[in-house]
Each structure stands twice: as C-alpha cells, then as structure tokens.
Structure 1
Amino acid sequence: MKILLVEDDQPLARGLASSLEAAGVLVEIAEDGRTADFLVSTERYDAVILDLGLPDGNGVQWLSGWREQGIELPVLILTARERWSDKAAGFSAGADDYVTKPFETAEILFRLRALVRRAHGHAHPVIRVGDISLDTHSAQVTRAGMPVSLTAQEFRLLSHLMHAAPRVVSRAELTEHVYDGDAEPDSNVIDVQVSRLRRKLGSHSIETLRGQGYRMISDSEAR
C-alpha cells in the first residue's frame, strides 16, 4: 500500500509516517495542498490522509477539486476539527472517512486497509483467490488453510496482486506501489520475488503475461 500523507505539522507527519512504514505502508508526505494537488495528479497512490488546516487553504477545498477532476482514490480526513459541520463538509466534498486528533495509529492503519480493500471491491477483511487467503487485519497468509511465511516485501507484492485480482498488474504499477520506485525498470527484482511466491504458494498461483504484467489466478483457471 502506498499513501500520500498531507499534513503541515512535520513532527506529527514524520511520527505517523514512521509508524505506518513499520507496518509495511509506503508513505510520501506533502506539507501543503498545492504539493498534494500536484502529487495526486501525477503519481499513483492507494489512499490519501488529508489534514484540513493546511497553510494554503482548507483541505476540503483541495479534496473537492480532486473529485471534480475525477480523482477517485480513497481519502481519509485526519484533523483536530470535531464539529459536525466540519465532518459534514468533508464527507460532502468526497471524503471516505474522517478521524479526529488525537488518534491511535493502529486505528488509522485499520481504516486505511479497509478503504483500500473496499476500493478494490473487497468487503470482507480476508481476501481469497483460489486456496490462498490474505487477512488484511492480521497480515496473515494461508494456503489451503496452512500458514505461509513471507518476507515483508513478498507480503506487499502478494497483497497488491490479491487486491487487484483478477486484473493484470503491470511492472510499473508494482514498482510504484510495492517498491516505492526503488527497483530500476530493467531490474529483475520483481521476477525474483514472483518466483519466490510461486515456490511458496504454488507454481500456477501467479500468471505472467508477457509485456503486460502479472495476475493472481485460481486453481480452476490454472487447469
């Protein structure tokens, strides 16, 4: 999961980003609405955490502009404003969730996972493809009911593929959302990780579509 955190309180932003990154979330920080506006228009994120009191305008105004542009990624408002009128304005502008400060980082993480999961059409916290299950709350993976041990990077890769299933996911999308742009386009890092996942989950669990990318497939599709 890759998110954009729009927050001008830098100590708070760095602390929250650090906690989310420890849980396997990739985080980019924008200190103002103008920077956030540029980033959501040019980069791909799974969700946005948006403060309302930004130095260059109300976060609601920026959010409203994104929705008018057709930018539909999930947005969680995180603010100290507790009045019902502020909450109503946020949801009316297109917010998907609203949390007031102070907050528990674990709650933010749970809400983010739920927003991203639902954005991909998954209502249940456990995502299943064939006999492979991924619990988005506990970050546990099983195959035919047996636990599967994955590295943090393998889990991020599998999570993105399972959220997207049965859609084909390009290498560029995986590089941005799983590796935070660290993998060079000609690197074989994704191929290596996919190969390791196949050894742990079954040789036919992930299909490679040459020139297009990868997708999760069920046992029935593999036959």
Structure 2
Amino acid sequence: MRVLVVEDEEDLRYVIAAGLRNAGYAVDAVSDWPDADIMLDLAPYSCVVLDRMVPSGDTLYALQERRRRGWTTPVLCLTALNEVPDRVDGFRSGADDYLAKPFAMVELVLRVGSLVRRAPERLPVHLRHADVELDEARREVRRAGVLLSLTPKEYAVLRQLLLHRDAVVTRTALIDHCWDEMADPVSNVVDTVVAGLRRKLGAPALIQTVRGHGFRLTDGANPS
C-alpha cells in the first residue's frame, strides 16, 4: 500500500517516511500542498499523512475542497495545533484522524494502519491463503504456523497478492502499490522481491508467474 507524506520539516519528513517504509508501506514525501495536489492525481494512495501548516498555508482548506469533490482517501492530520477547536476544525474539514506533535513513530504507524483498514474498501486485518496467514495488525506472516521474517517490500508484495488472491496481479499494480515514485518500472526489482519471497515461503511453491502479465497465488500443487 502507498502513503503520501506532506510535511515541510525536512528531518521530520525523513523520519516519518523511513518509519512507514520500515512498516512495509511505499512512501512518497513532499514538503508542500501544491506538490501533494499533483501527486494525488498521479498515483493511488491508501492514506495521506498531512501536516496542517505548510509554506502554502493551512492544508485544511485544500483538504475540504478535495472532500467536496468526492475524494475519499483517508487522511491523518499532523499538527502542533492541538486545542479542541483545532481538532474540531480538522475533522469538519475532512480529516479522518488527528495526531499532535510531538508524537511517537510507532503510534503514527498504527494510526495509518487503522485508517487503511477502515477505508471504503475495508481491508481485512487477517489474510489467508492455503497455509499462509498474514496479520496486518501485528505485521506478522506465518506459514503452517511458523513465523516468517520478511523484508518490508516482501511483506507488501505478499499482502497485495493475498488481497487479490483470485486474480493475476500485474507488475505494474505491484509497482503502484508497493513502491514509491523512485522505483524504476522497467527494472527487475519486482522479480527480485518475488524471488526472495518465494524462498522464504518455501515449498510447495504458492506464487506462480503468469508470463507477460504478472503473478498469482496457487494452492501449491502447480509450481511457478
């Protein structure tokens, strides 16, 4: 899943992006709303982490305008303005959650995860296929009850395959949802991550390559 971070403080922007990437999210990060406005029209985001005060002004006005146009992406508003009237203004303008600065990174990651799961598509907390189980709340993956140690990208790719386990997931879709704007769509980055994921999942193989299209999950009876 892909998250957009809008934060004008460079150090804080870096910390937030790094923390979310470590949790398995693809992250794009910008410093002001005009850049964010462009990014939101270019890529599918599961959540936006939005600093309220940026160089172009209070982002609540821009958020309110997007909500009026039917935009439904969950938004976590970050701000040093944490009085009750400030929080009320945030929610009335379309924010889904409100987190005051300073904050703990672990709390931000949990809040983003909660917003993603509460989004219109209602992503499940637990995903299962054959003997593989993914627990989104704990960020854990098990096969036949054995806990697996996956990288953030391996976790993100497996989550996308599990979410669409009855369909072929294209390389383009994986790039869109599991990588940020710095990913090279013509490189073999997806194949490299899938190869590592296959090794860690072990036998029988569950990920099948559909040549010219992408990948899909199998029941383990047909090797990839």
- State the TM-score bracket (shorter-chain normalisation): 0.7 to 0.9
Of stretches 186-195 and 43-52 in structure 1, the one that deviates more from structure 2 is: 186-195
- The corresponding residue for 2:83 is 83
Q: Alignment partner of 1:95: what SS?
A: coil
Give the direction of change, closer, same or farther, for the CA distance of 1:193–1:32 in structure 2 (3 Å limit). Answer: closer
Could you tell me how far apart the structure 2 residues matched to 1:196 and 1:69 are?
Answer: 42
The RMSD of aligned alpha carbons is 2.9
Deviates more, 1:204-213 or 1:42-51: 204-213
Instruction: Specify the SS of the correspondent of 1:180.
Output: coil
**Gaps in structure 1 of 5+ consecutive residues:** none
Distance 1:57 1:152, change over 3 A: closer
TM-score with structure 2 setting the length = 0.80
Q: Measured at CA, do residues 19 and 49 of structure 1 come closer, stay the same or move farther in structure 2, by a change above 3 Å? A: same
1:69 aligned partner: 69
Letter in 2 for 1:84: V
CA separation in 2, counterparts of 1:185 and 1:165?
23
**Tell me, which stretches of 5 or more residues in structure 2 are unaligned?**
none
SS, match of residue 67 in structure 1 = helix
- Cα distance, 1:44 vs structure 2: 2.4
Task: Say yes or no: does 1:27 pair with 2:22.
Answer: no
CA apart distance, 1:102: 1.6
SS of aligned partner of 1:27: strand
The answer on 1:15 being equivalent to 2:18 is no
Bigger CA drift: 197-206 or 86-95? 197-206
- Provide, for residues 160-219 of structure 1, a one-character-per-residue CA deviation record: whole Å limited to 9, x for no partner: 333455565332221133233555444343234334434544556345555554444668
| 1:175–1:182 CA contact under 8 A, matched in 2 | no
Displacement, 1:47? 1.2
Deviations 1:122-168 (Å, cap 9, x if unpaired)? 353x3323432112233221122222333343222112333455565
Aligned equivalents of 2:160, 2:129: Cα separation in 1: 13
Moved over 6 A (4+): none
Name which of structure 1's ranges 158-167 and 63-72 shifts more when overlaid on structure 2.
158-167
- Alpha-carbon shift at residue 66 of structure 1 (Å): 2.1
Residues 40-119 of structure 1 mapped to structure 2, 5 A cutoff: 40-119=40-119
Say which SS state the counterpart of residue 121 (structure 1) adopts.
coil
Code of the residue aligned with 1:156 in structure 2: it is A
Question: How far 1:36 moved relative to its partner?
Answer: 1.1
Using the alignment, how far apart are the partners of 2:168 and 2:115 within structure 1?
Answer: 21
TM-score by length of 1: 0.80
Query: Alpha-carbon deviation of 1:86?
Result: 2.4
Bigger shift: residues 152-161 or 187-196: 187-196
What secondary structure sits across from 1:72 in the alignment? coil
Report sequence identity in percent.
39
